[in-house]
Amino acid sequence: MDTNIDSMRKVLPAPAQAPVLTPNGLPIHNVTPNVTPVRATGAFALMDSLRQHGVEHIFGYPGGAILPIYDELYRSEAAGHVKHFLVRHEQGAAHAADGYARATGKVGVCFGTSGPGATNLVTGIATAQMDSIPLVIITGQVPRAAIGSDAFQETDIYGITLPIVKHSFVVRDPKDMARTVAEAFHIASSGRPGPVLIDVPKDVGLEEFDYVPVKPGEVKLPGYRPTVKGNPRQLVQALKLIRQAQRPLLYVGGGAIASGAHAEIKEMAERYQIPVTTTLMGIGAFDEHHPLAVGMLGMHGTAYANFAVTECDLLIAVGARFDDRVTGKLDEFAAHAKVIHIDIDPAEVGKNRVPDVPIVGDVRQVLLEMLKRDREGTKLLDSSRTQSWLRRIDRWKQDYPIVAPIYPDEISPQELIAEVGRQAPHAYYTTDVGQHQMWAAQFLKNGPRRWISSAGLGTMGYGMPAAMGAKVAVPDQQVICISGDASFQMNCQELGTLAQYGIAVKTVIVNNGWQGMVRQWQQAFYGERYSSSNMQPGMPNFELLAQAFGVKGMVVRHRDQLQDAIATMLAHDGPVLLDVRVKRDENCYPMVAPGKSNAQMVGLPKPPQLTTEQQVESIICSNCASENAPGNKFCPECGTKL
């Protein structure tokens, strides 16, 4: 049998052959020509197809129904084709594949068995779907004859996941395996990315057939043609609005990261002198040290970003979806602005806000074409057109800065995160979900793909397994997880995976003893009734917990320990868990309360009092943002009464 298996591993060229047919008698288009089929199992076809698509790392957990695939995985690992990472819970596998995909832009891959193994993947699949992350999830299933009989560990994972995947397959014939894998990778990574499920019955993995590989790009999917280039007429309309706008704002989302459009966004911002705000998913698409950057907008965004989106006269939405945590009260979001909306998914354009200029296409390709058209134009740009607007935003930055408070006897969460960012400015950062996530978004300055956070689903327990996947993807880079004491306990068992494989993730627990954001909402909106949000009773000793898994554990209780502890953590050659005890009742501000507009923030610092000279220096027009002399009664630019 071993000799037979070994013979399957070599696919030899041969003369041209008749088309390969599916079980329905239809030809499989564009399969590799001049290849002799070889006898192989469905499991071998799966593993070889993954290799054909460049898969080097897989995260997973075995079980009965997926054992034929794991048996073939054993041989693939022995041959050096792939590296498998045994997680301690299938949810960790999905999150690790997700972090891997976000860090690289490649398709992440994870395995799980049938029944509870498959259902344990569901949260990770939904996380990837909400944030448009390309995954291929492969699950084992009971044998074909047992499907529908309530067999041991049978669940209809195909049906369960239909609302949370981009597409799903059940492989009922091993002859379909190679084509299915090729289609899955194509669908997951093209257009708006997303997760794709492949469910493989156990006997399909065992059955032998005449295998012919299908290489990347060799499948055609009739009816699936994502629009990449924007409509020329709409591009012209968008450029016209951009040239006319006096208070424009670029509103950049995760689509800009997915398409790799950071260089084009920078060129557009600088060419037209447009300030740039990002969503939580868009962090890293624009350099936050740039003078045109105004940081994140939305519920816990910067005051100046929220004021800017309220006052702008043109909003250019780039790969963003007008999420409720961004818009606040939707009918007051950029209420006085015309809107240009650029997105590759036509279902998102106009879903929450009807744009004046809708542009469906790949963000990077659309921006490239817009910039090309403008460079070819003859009309010179008016560089002074937005200067009053930029000066107004700069004043907001001065009046409402994001600062880390310093308390005499306690470490503030903000100063902890700021210090980590100071010592590791170029690291890849993952987060869990809650207050620490928002503080990390406010204080860390990240480059493209170096910010990895569950934005749409808000998944607690995401941070450490996502960091694990990111570190596997970029082993020579520093990878740091910013977590909370409540979030960390959701998937703390993945410390075992870090220890087993020596994955040098550094995890920082912002430990305030609460479900922090829940406590803040209970304080603000529920009469300070702290129902089931106190995590101190039953909290483990995180330092000893880490050591029990074979991971270096550390704890910091006082400010004078903080800098050295972070430096020690970063210098350690291996995984580290750093537990930092911070001020328990610190709240995350600014905050837009539910049902309020973005301009109605609580927790803003009081702006400094202006001197008499500053007060009479100029008057800012409320309509066009022009600066006017103190004696003006009307704005000469637009005629508005001052």
Catalytic residue numbers, as ranges:
90, 152-153, 202, 517
Q: Which helix (H) or strand (E) holds 484?
A: strand 479-484
Contact 199, 171 (CB under 8 A): yes
Radius of gyration of the chain (CA): 27
Bridge-based pairing state of the strands 248-252 and 276-278: parallel
Strands (DSSP E) found in 248-392? 248-252, 276-278, 293-296, 314-318, 338-343, 357-360
Contact 430, 479 (CB under 8 A): yes
Q: How far is the C-alpha of 260 from the C-alpha of 240, rounded, in Å?
A: 25
Helix (H, G, I), strand (E, B) or coil at 638: coil
CA angle 608, 613, 614 (to 5 degrees): 40
Bridge-based pairing state of the strands 135-141 and 195-201: parallel
Q: Does the N-terminal peptide bond of residue 590 adopt cis geometry, omega within 30 degrees of 0?
A: yes
Contact 454, 469 (CB under 8 A): no
Owner of token pair 């020596």: 502
Q: List beta partners, residue 314.
A: 248, 338
Q: Which two tokens stand for residue 260?
A: 């790799």
Q: Which two tokens stand for residue 342?
A: 């650029």
Q: Which two tokens stand for residue 555?
A: 């704890």
Phi, psi angles (nearest 5°) of residue 377:
-75, 165
